[in-house]
A and B are shown apart, each in its own frame.
Chain A
C-alpha cells in the first residue's frame, strides 16, 4: 500500500521531517519514560471512579435493582441507555481499522490504534450494563446456550437480547484480535528497545516472537485483511442488532423499521466524536501533533457531520411517520412525549436535537473543522447528544405507552445508577491510561508504512520532483 501514489494536493499525514528513527523515538518514548504528574492524577481519578462504580454495582447486586429508580412502566432507564451509548462509542475503532483499511484510507494510520483501543474499552464498559441490569446476575450464565441437565433448557433464539449476546461478544472478540494483531510489531519494537530484563520478558511475551521477517510481515498483512473483512460486517451488524432490542418490540417509539441504519449511523457518529475527544487530549499530552494532524481531525469531522445529518434525517423521518401513520399511539409518543418541549421529557428530545443535529452543522465550514477548540467542544456535545438520543428512545417510549392508566415517570436516577455510569467511565479511563502507558498509542509500523508516501518531508521532495521539468529529471537520472 505504500507503493501507492498520493496527490500533492493532499496534506501530508505526518508532519515534520521525520525519519523512521524519529517515528519510533517519538511514539515509544512515553512508554519508556516515567509518566508525568498529569498521568497519575488522571489515573487515580479514573481508579477512584471505577471503585465507586464497583460499590454501586455491589449495591445493585446485593439489594436489588430497586437501588435504581426504574419502575413498573419504565423497566429500562440509565442502564440500557448507557449500554447503547457505550456500544455506539465502540464503533469508531473497528470502522477506522476495518472499513477504512478496505477503502485504503491512509489517514487512518494516525488514529486507528487509539480508536481501536477505545472501541475495546467502550465495549467492555457497554457489556457491564446488560449484565448488571439483570435482576439475578448470578444466573447470567442462563443466556448461554450450553448443554445442561435441566431438560435441557435452551435459550430463546427469538429474543433480540440473545442476539445481543452473540453480536457483542463476537464484535468484542474480533476487535480484540484486530487490535492485538496490529500491536504485535510495535510490541516487538518496544521489546527490542527494552533496557531491563523484566520489560524484555514481558514485551517479549506480548510480541509473540515477532522477528520482523518478511514472512511475518506477509502474514500480518494477510491477517489484517482477513480480520478487516470479518470486522466490516460486524460494524454494521452490532448496532443493527442492538437496534432490534427495540425495533422488534410492540412499543410505539421502539417498533420502528428505520432503526438499524439509524442506529449504525448514530453509533459511527458517537464513535468518531469520542475518538476526537480522546485524541485531541492524547496528541497534546504526548506531543503527537505531527502524527495526529489537523488533517486527521478534519477527516473525522467530515464523518461526524455526515453521520450527524443522517441521524437528523432519521429523527425527522420518525416525526413524519408519527404523523403520517395516523397511529394515535405513535403520534402521541413522537409528537407529545418527545417533540413537545413541555412534556415531562421534552427537554431530553430537544437536548438531543440540539447536540446531534444542529451544532455539528458547523462542520460544513472548513475553518470550524480545523479548529481544535470547536472540534473538542462539538465532539463532547455529540456524545452528550447521543446519550440523550438513547435516553429519548428508551424512556420516552415506555413511560407513556398504550394504557394511560399505567403511565408513570422515571424519576431522576439514584446515586447508584449514576455511580454505575461513572464507574464505567472509571473502567474506560483506567484501561485507557494503562494502555497509553504500556502500549504505543499510535501504530508505529503503520506510520512507517505511509511515511514515505505521505510524510511531510517526502511529500515535499516528491513535490519538488514533480515540479521539475521532465528534461531536468531525465538529465539527473541520466547520471
Chain B
C-alpha cells in the first residue's frame, strides 16, 4: 500500500527551497530568550521561564539529593598503538633544560601524556637526583599562559608567513648586525646551529646572558688558570668544606650534583663514625648555611675581607677582621682546612672577580686541584659574561644593532637597568623572541615564535664537558610552537630540520644508528672511563691585584641588602608554576611572596619585636599580617613585608629575586611579590647582587605572608620536645654511641622500655605482621631540606594547590612537608630539617576515631584512606599527633558533584589548576579528591601496587633495595638528591630499609614514640660535626 503523504503547506508539498531552509530549524520563530539584564518576571514570557526554573530547580534538587552520577564511558582504542597499554606507563629518557641548567630525567608518560619526571640514574652527574624545580617542570608543559602560535605584532600568523616576513626583514637589515641573545647554551648541536646562522649572516654574533651570572668565577679562573671555565667540584672528596656564601645545596651552580656528593660524607657509618666538616660564612640564612656544622655571619661588604682573612690564616699570616666571633671562625676554619690539605674545598657564591681569585688562591694553597676540584671536565651551564651584555645594551642604544633574536633570555625583567635595555629594544629594526611565554622581553618583540617545552623537544645538552644528555619529545606539541633551532636552521637556508640535524650530529658522535638509538634510550652519553680528577696550573699573578682591590673596598653602610635566589623560584623563570609558588621555602617556610628577611636583632631595634618574650613572639607568629618595611638602596625603594629569620646578620636584610611578574607569565605569577632585580648593580666587571648601602624604615603598614609554619623551636617552658626530633654532636656520639638509645629507653621506661614497648605499652593484644610490611627511614643527616620530595609528592599524588588566601588560613594540602626547627642562639641558630609525612602508624590514632571506618589499616602496615567512604568529620586530623592529614575545605580540584561552587570561593590559581589543559598533568592512578574529604600520604600506594604486580608477574618476591634493585620507590624517595629516604619491606631481611635500620640502630628513633602509635617511619638522629668549644660559645 502506498504511503499517503500529509502536508501542511504548499511548501512542504512541493518541498520548496524555502521550506527546506525553514525545516532545518527546529523552531520556526526565534526562541524567547531571557536576556541577562532583565529580571525573571520582566522577561517576555515569565510563565515559561518560571516553569523552566521550576523544572531546573527540581532537577537540581534531585541531583543534589544524590541520584546516580551520569555514567561516562571509557572507549577502548579501535586500533591500539603499539607501545601504549592503557594503565601502563612508558618512561622516556630526556633532559630538563632551564636556561643553562640541564638535568637528565625520565619522563613518565601515561596514555600519551607526560605526568611526572624522575631522575635518570644513568647520569653520573645527578645519579637519579632531582630538584624541586625539575620535578615541577612537567606542570609548565600544561601552562595555560604558554604562547600558542607565532605572532607578528601580537597577531596570530602562520609559520610560512612569519618565516617569509622575517627573511624579508633580515634581508632589509643591510649591514646592521643581528645579535642572538641567549641564555647559556649547553647544547653542542644548538651551538652549531647558531654558528651556522652566524656564518650565513656575517656580522651577526651571539651574546650569552645569564640572569644569575657566574662571570666572576669565569673571569677569575681565566686570570688564575687561564681558562674561562668553571671546573667540576668534588664535595665527596672533601673532608672540610668552607663555603663563603655559596648556596651549593640550594641554588649554586649544580645543586643536585653537589647535594649528592655532599651527602656521601654526611651519612654516618656507626661503627666508625666520621663526618665531613662544613663551615659556612654568609650574610643571610640560606639552605646551605642551615645545613652547615658551623656558621658565621658577616656583612655582605665584608665578603672579600673574609676571603682574604681565610687566605691569610691558611698562609699563617695575621688576619684583620673586626668581629671577634667571625675572626675566631676564620681561624678555626683555616686550621681545619690546613689540617686536611688535599681533602679540603673552599667555594664562594660571590660574583666578584677579586673574591673568586682569592678563593682560587685559597684552593691552590690547600692543594685542592685534582682532588676536590677537577679540571678534567668543566661546566657549560653558565657561560654568560656580564660585560658582554652590558656592552650589547650600549650598542643597542647607540643604534649599532639591527635585530635581536632572543632565546630564553628575559633582560627586560632580569637586567638591573631594564629601562635602558627596553630603550635599546626600541632602537632595533626588529626583534624576534623564541621565548615560550609573552614575558617582559617578548612583549617588546615584533615577531614571536614560541619555543617548544623541553618535553616536546628534540635536543641535547652537555652540562659538563664529556657528559651528554639527550632530549626526545614525550608528547606531540600541544600548540603551534616550533623549536628555535628549527627557525634558525630555516633562516640559515639549511635543508634539514633540527631533528635531522641532531640525528646526523649524534649518529656521527655516538657511533652509528644503533649508538644513537641507545643514547636516546638511555638519555645520556658518558665518557667511557671516569676521568681522574686533574688540577690546572695556577698563575698567582692576579692575586696581589685582587688583594689590593679588596683592601680598597668601601665599607658597607648602616644596612646592607642581599638579593638571593629561592630554591623554588630561582631567577623567576618558574614564577608561573603554582606548585613552586606554593612550595614553602625551606628556610623561611613562606609561600607565594617575596619579603624582607631580617634578623631577630633588627626586629628588636627596627620593629620593637623581642622574640625572646613569649608574648611578643606569639603576637608576631600567630598573625599572618607582617609589618611592612621600606628598603631603600641604589636610589630605589621597596616596601615589603618582613619575616624575622634567625641566622641573618643583624645589619643585613635579604630579599628574594624572581618575583613581581605579571599575568602574562601566568596566573600564578600575577602580582606575587615584587621584582628586586633593579637593586642589583654592576660592580666593576661583574654584576653584584648586593647593595652595600641601604636604609630600612618602618612603614606602619602590614601585609599578610602565607607561612606554613609559624613556630620554629621545639623548646617550650615545659621542656624541650626531644621526642619529636633528636640531634647530637659527633663528639657526643663518639663518646656515648648509646645516647639516643638511652634517651629512648628513658622515655619508654614506664611502658616496658625500648624492648617491650610495642607489647607492653598498650592494653590491647599484640598482632603479628606477616608478609609485606612497608617502612620508611629518613636520615636527618642526609636531608638538606631542598624540597624536591615535596614537589615530587605534588606531581605523583595530585596534591591540589590552594592559593595564597587559603594558605593564609592554614589550608595548605601538602602531604609531605619539611619541618624546620631551630635550636641554640636565635641570632645564629642550628637548624634541623625534618621531613614529615603520614607515619603510617601501626596503632594509628586516626583509625579508631573515624565513625565510618574510612581510614583503616592494611595488612601491609599502610594507614589507608577510603576517600569514597569519608564523610569528613575531621576527627582523624584532630587526633593525628603529627598533623599530616589534610582536609578538602573547598572544591580545590573541581572533582565535586556540586556544580559551580568554586568561583569566588577558591582563587584563580586553583581554578587554573582545574582547567582541561592543566588537568592533563594529573596522575590517573591516584583519585582526585573532592570537597569534604580527608587525604594524606599513602606511601604512594599506587607505586607499591605496581611494584608488587611486577614482582608477581615475574613470580618472585618483591625486591626493595637488595643489591640496589628496586621494584618500588616512593615518589619522595625517587626525587631525593641525597638518598636520605629509604623505603621498603621491613619483613625482608635483605631490603634496604631493614639493612639501613640495622646498620643505624644507634641513631634510630621514631618521632613521638612514647605515644605508642607505632609509626612505620623511622628517623636517624641528626649528628653535627661541632666540637664542644663551639657548643660552649653558643651558650
Contacts and interface: CB of A to CB of B under 8 A. Distances in A.
Interface of A: 62-67, 69-76, 130, 133-140, 142-143, 153-156, 158-162, 165, 245, 248-251, 328-329, 331-332, 335-336, 340, 342-344, 398, 400-409, 411
A332 B871 contact: no
29 contacts: A64-B901, A66-B811, A69-B809, A70-B889, A73-B883, A75-B878, A134-B873, A138-B66, A142-B852, A153-B869, A155-B853, A158-B849, A159-B848, A248-B849, A329-B721, A331-B719, A335-B718, A343-B614, A401-B881, A402-B721, A404-B714, A404-B821, A405-B817, A405-B821, A405-B836, A406-B819, A407-B710, A408-B710, A409-B622
Contact of B869 (A73, A142, A251): A142
Nearest to B866: A153
Interface stretch (B111-119, B634-642, B929-937): B929-937
Nearest to B849: A159
Interface in B809-867: 809-812, 817, 819-821, 834, 836, 845, 848-853
Contacts of B901: 62-64
A65 B849 contact: no
Given A63-B890, A402-B721, A135 B878 contact: no
Contact of B931 (A64, A74, A332): A64
Nearest to A327: B718
B872 A328 contact: no
Nearest to B64: A138
Give the 4 A-B CB pairs with smallest separation, nearest first.
A135-B872, A135-B932, A66-B889, A71-B810
Contacts of A411: 809
Contact of A328 (B719, B845, B873): B719
A403 B723 CA distance: 10
B1006 to A, nearest CB: 13
B881 A408 contact: no
Nearest to A140: B871
A403 B722 CA distance: 11
Interface string B713-733: 110111111001000000000
B853 A64 contact: no
Nearest to B812: A72
Nearest to A343: B618
A164 B985 CA distance: 39
B718 A332 contact: yes
B819 A62 contact: no
Contact of B871 (A66, A74, A135, A407): A135
A67 B998 CA distance: 49
| Chain A interface main SS type | loop
Nearest to B852: A142
Contacts of A409: 622-623, 710, 810
B852 A156 contact: yes
A72 to B, nearest CB: 5
A398 B877 CA distance: 10
A314 to B, nearest CB: 21
Chain B's interface: helix, strand, loop or mixed, by majority? loop
B581 to A, nearest CB: 18
Nearest to B820: A405
A409 B901 CA distance: 26
B615 A136 contact: no
Given A64-B888, A159-B850, 4 more contacts: A136-B932, A155-B853, A250-B1011, A336-B614
B43 to A, nearest CB: 26
Contact of A249 (B819, B849, B870): B849
A143 B851 contact: yes
A64 B932 contact: yes
B60 to A, nearest CB: 11
Contact of B879 (A140, A158, A165, A251): A251
Interface in B709-763: 709-714, 716-721, 724
B510 interface: no
Contacts of B603: none
A202 B870 CA distance: 44
Nearest to A66: B889
Nearest to B896: A64
Interface in B874-929: 874-875, 877-879, 881-883, 885-891, 898, 901, 905
Contacts of B875: 75-76, 159, 161, 245, 249
Contact of B877 (A64, A72, A250, A332): A72
A335 B718 CA distance: 9
Contacts of A404: 711-714, 716, 721, 724, 821
B810 A73 contact: yes
A400 B821 CA distance: 15
A70 B718 contact: no
A136 B887 CA distance: 11
Contacts of B524: none
Most B CB atoms within 10 A — which of A66, A76, A328, A402? Answer: A66
A308 to B, nearest CB: 28
Contacts of B812: 72
A329 B882 CA distance: 13
B881 A403 contact: yes
B852 A64 contact: no
Given A133-B873, A404-B821, A406-B883, A65 B878 contact: no
Contacts of B933: 135-136
B394 interface: no
B890 A403 contact: no
Contacts of B886: 72
Contact of A161 (B65, B719, B873, B1007): B873
A12 to B, nearest CB: 50
A26 B851 CA distance: 49
Contacts of A134: 871-873, 932
Nearest to B878: A75
B806 interface: yes
A126 to B, nearest CB: 15
A402 B851 contact: no
Given A63-B905, A66-B905, A135-B932, A250 B845 contact: yes
Contacts of A329: 718, 721
A71, A72, A75 — most chain B CB neighbours (10 Å): A72
Contacts of B869: 142, 153
A328 B716 contact: yes
Contacts of B820: 405
B845 A65 contact: no
Contacts of A139: 871
A394 B850 CA distance: 17
Interface centre among A159, A161, A245 (most CB of B within 10 A): A159
A340 B717 CA distance: 12
Interface string B607-626: 00000001100100011000
B880 to A, nearest CB: 9
Contacts of B64: 138
B1008 interface: yes
A342 B615 contact: yes
B734 to A, nearest CB: 29
B713 A328 contact: no
Nearest to A407: B711
A135 B810 contact: no
A277 to B, nearest CB: 31
Contacts of B848: 156, 158-159, 248
Contacts of A400: 711
Nearest to A163: B851
B471 interface: no
Contacts of A335: 717-718
Choose among A75, A165, A335 the residue with the greatest number of B CB atoms under 10 Å from its CB. Answer: A75
B563 interface: no
A148 B370 CA distance: 73
Point out which of A64, A153, A342 has the most chain B C-beta atoms below 10 A from its C-beta: A64
A143 B871 contact: yes
Nearest to B934: A135
B251 to A, nearest CB: 24
Contacts of A158: 848-849
Considering residues A65, A153, A342, which has the most beta carbons from chain B within 10 angstroms of its beta carbon? A65
Nearest to A136: B932
